[in-house]
Structure 1
Amino acid sequence: MSAKPWGGVFDGATDPRVEKFTESVSFDHRLYAQDVRGSIAHANMLAAVGVLTPVEAKQISVGLEEIGGEIAAGTFAFRQDLEDVHMNIERALIDRIGDVGRKLHTGRSRNDQVSTDFRLWIRDTIDQIDALLTDLQRAFVQRCGRDEGVILPGYTHLQRAQPVLANHYWLAYCEKLQRDRSRLADCRGRVNQLPLGTAALAGTTIAIDRQMVADSLGFEGVVANSLDSSSDRDFAIEFAFVLTMIAEHLSTWAEEWILWSTCEFNFLQLPQAYCTGSSIMPQKINPDVLELTRGKTARVVGNLQALLVLVKGLPLAYNRDLQEDKERVFDSADTVSACLELAAAVVAGAELNREAISSRLEHGYLDATTLMEYLIGHGVPQRSAHEIIGRLVASAMKQRMPLAELPLAEFQQAHSALDEKVFNVLGVEHAIAAFQSVGSTAPPKVAEQVASWRNHLGC
């Protein structure tokens, strides 16, 4: 028998440089557990339809489980000349149980076998990343008890805009992460369709039971078209996109907290366990975990772009180009998982510099919009109110004082509706209390949201 599973038609050996160039076992060995699970399910189905005897199916299952155990223990020797994890496992099975092992590949091709294993791996990884996202959400929600009532300056264009509760800020990231979890769930539904049994591209003449395999492996259904199944990598690219969105959200958070931890902002003290120092400057406490979280987003974005380019010109059905998909997906999943694991710890361990924040809260005229809306409540058109308050802000800026320190006469000169009650909406405390709309930073609305998130996350 040829050393190659496809070698019967060849009359010469493969150039060793080709073996090195085409192998994938150096990275797809990560699929070994999924390959064992899929092959056992396939063997049991072959026994159910009469291709294997029950004894043969048992021999195969026991042999595969032994091989899987050796791989997990690190005692299995992978061979580069056998190309990939699938052929390594199959050859080891044949070496152990003989011709019965040669029956396992009946009714399938490596094309649908690879796709099945990859879908199983992505499905498992989606569940793991969803758990990490949940942990990060819990870390933000658990901050809400510690930071109850703390007011922060909210920014647009990186300029101070309006006051917001710290808890409102933490829950903003819970919302982003929840959308990431929703995208993962949607992706999982499309991943969770069984391709096994569509064979190379046209299906098989053997009367297999694909639904039985789907049920055994927990797939929601079977891929309907064999040509589509052989060529499809939508599921992998969609997963890479969802990972990219998660990385983008983490990068935004990291950038913000890097700024907040500077002397210039002085909003936040990062936990030193997640910082590093300088080799020359003894005073430095550098936010390296946050910087690398921001930086590693670039590789996740790059992996998505590589996958999109990979499939852009491929004809139906399978092409060997598709071997290049796994390293990109593996790398993105590993990178995002590592970032998420550290993110939850950083969020839990950071401390707001409350005195520093509070001492500068009246800088930036955070109450100007509230004052404008106070005028609107007295029947002044929005554009007119905007201009009136803009002039008052300009006056306060020239006098280097907050709006609340302007004399009442100046307010009344600006508009008759601005009587002594105007001071009830000026200052960040009054501005925060004035908010009313659903989804706003109004304290009662935020409290409702905190309670809702605690109930949702069980924390």
Structure 2
Amino acid sequence: MGKLWGGRFSKSTDVMVEEFTSSISFDHRLYRQDIKGSIAHAKMLAKCGIISKEDAGLIIEGLNGILADMEAGRFQFDIALEDIHMNIEKRLTERIGPAGGRLHTARSRNDQVALDTHIYLKEEIARIAGFIYELEQAIIETAEKHPRAIMPGYTHLQRAQPILFSHHLMTYFFMLERDFRRLRGVWESTDIMPLGAGALAGTTFPIDRQFVADELKFSRIYENSIDAVSDRDYILEFQSFASILMMHLSRLSEEIILWSSTEFSFIELDDAHCTGSSIMPQKKNPDVAELVRGKTGRVYGHLMAMLTVAKGLPLAYNKDLQEDKEGLFDTIDTVKFSLTVYAAMLRGMRLNEKNMGGALAADFSNATDMADYLVKKGLPFRQAHEVVGKCVAFCLDQGKTLLELTLDEFRQFSEMFNSDILQAIKPETCVDARNSFGGTSPAQVGQAVAAARNIMSSQRKHLDMYAKTAL
């Protein structure tokens, strides 16, 4: 079969080279975007008098027919035609005759594939933003469902201070809120129209790039034709965003895995989000959380691969840039799966508040509050720290907790202790007392939830905008 670019060649392409250089096995998913871009291009060519309106009408009708065939599964892709663009163009010419060959006037596959990828990523950004929004909603709902559940807060994975479970969970809301803001930046970098750059230097035809940008709902146009075909920053920015997002989900995954273990028993995941063992009947494994944690490394790998591909490329287009798509597609698929399944998993999760609270009864996470008690009585903090440290050492030696000490035992270490010390170091008191802005008290967590809902109202406006401007 003759190549659309075969005029300069006198020898057929080696079959192995065809297989190695072909991208149709993965870029076929760009078919909708490719057809949309071609329709806008045909309209522009007719508007500018570069092709006739009759030919443009035939082209648009033919492209819509090809789209219908693809949607119905009636389109056979040919590896010899290399990519999605040439597969569509060849079929178009077969359907409508010579008019199909005029579609490629004033464009190159270089700016064509860049356009397809920009359109595709804009559409996926809109979807992913919605999935982040849904997970944020699930976090807020779960936090509000357990307003008084108290758990140990950790540093170094050692029990540190009592906190509200809702306070801990809302941490992930604010991580996701930053991810949402980063995604807005990726949108701005993606919302730039490259078509009209040609292979690299523009075109000799009197095209109207703004017309195409308006048709395809782009807010900006690349100002440099070389940049338009060689830029992959928007893909790198998306993969960077995705890597940070997956890191956040991986941290949450690790905690879900720990909390659901027998050793913690703070939560139980719904059966729908767990699997069993082929040999151990008692097992209930948190596979979803483990997979999200594992897939994080995969997303990191795609970012590093793309950075490596781009690091030494001379301008403008090089075939190396064909490597931008498989990693991008897989990153998008992984992020969408992870966000969607996590929202469902959180909503199905059950808390064991008794075990969470019971963990605090057997530790010394109220030691800081005991030191604060002495400071409020007038003792300098460093001295209070030493007193409490000695109390803890005494408890460890006696097999007791701080709440099990008598007033006489407290006073062995400081005469400042009074009968109110036991109330002051109860977990509930410790939590309620941390009422500084952003703290773990119920009042502060309530304010944080209210602030989160305001943030989501602002995010909703961006979601609406994405929906209007993504094709």
TM range (shorter): over 0.9
The Cα shift of 1:371 comes to 2.1
The Cα shift of 1:453 comes to 2.7
- The alignment partner of 1:70 has SS state of helix
Which amino acid is 1:225 matched to?
N
Q: Does 1:433 align with 2:432?
A: yes
Aligned partners of 2:237 and 2:32: how far apart in 1? 23
Q: How does 1:299-378 map to 2 (within 5 A)?
A: 299-378=298-377
Which amino acid is 1:98 matched to?
G
Which amino acid is 1:306 matched to?
A
Q: Does 1:69 align with 2:72?
A: no
Q: Does 1:103 align with 2:102?
A: yes
CA deviation map 1:243-266 (0-9, x unaligned): 111211111111111111111111
Partner of 1:27: 26
CA deviation map 1:148-188 (0-9, x unaligned): 21111111111101111111122111111111111111111
The Cα shift of 1:307 comes to 0.9
CA deviation map 1:277-296 (0-9, x unaligned): 11111111111111111111
Partner of 1:82: 81
- The alignment partner of 1:163 has SS state of strand
Q: 1:384 to 1:226 in 2, by over 3 A?
A: farther
Aligned partners of 1:199 and 1:398: how far apart in 2? 79
Q: How does 1:47-446 map to 2 (within 5 A)?
A: 47-446=46-445
Q: 1:418 to 1:102 in 2, by over 3 A?
A: same
The Cα shift of 1:270 comes to 0.8
The Cα shift of 1:141 comes to 1.1
C-alpha contact (below 8 Å) 2:152/2:359 kept by paired residues: no
Please report the TM-score for the alignment, with normalisation by the length of structure 2. 0.93
Partner of 1:13: 12
- The alignment partner of 1:361 has SS state of helix
Aligned partners of 1:49 and 1:173: how far apart in 2? 52
Aligned partners of 2:278 and 2:330: how far apart in 1? 30
Aligned partners of 1:61 and 1:369: how far apart in 2? 72
Single out whichever of 354-363 and 283-292 deviates more from structure 2.
354-363
Please report the TM-score for the alignment, with normalisation by the length of structure 1. 0.96
CA deviation map 1:19-55 (0-9, x unaligned): 1111000100010111111111111111221112222
Aligned partners of 2:75 and 2:275: how far apart in 1? 39
C-alpha contact (below 8 Å) 1:425/1:434 kept by paired residues: no
- The alignment partner of 1:154 has SS state of strand
CA deviation map 1:354-398 (0-9, x unaligned): 222222222221211122233333444333332222222222222
Aligned partners of 2:376 and 2:269: how far apart in 1? 42
Which amino acid is 1:206 matched to?
F
Aligned partners of 1:424 and 1:349: how far apart in 2? 35
Q: 1:355 to 1:66 in 2, by over 3 A?
A: same
Aligned partners of 1:312 and 1:45: how far apart in 2? 35
Over the aligned positions, Cα root-mean-square deviation in angstroms equals 1.7
Which amino acid is 1:162 matched to?
Q
Aligned partners of 2:287 and 2:419: how far apart in 1? 51
Q: Which runs of 5+ in 1 are unaligned?
A: none
The Cα shift of 1:236 comes to 0.8
C-alpha contact (below 8 Å) 2:147/2:442 kept by paired residues: no
The Cα shift of 1:206 comes to 1.4
- The alignment partner of 1:76 has SS state of coil
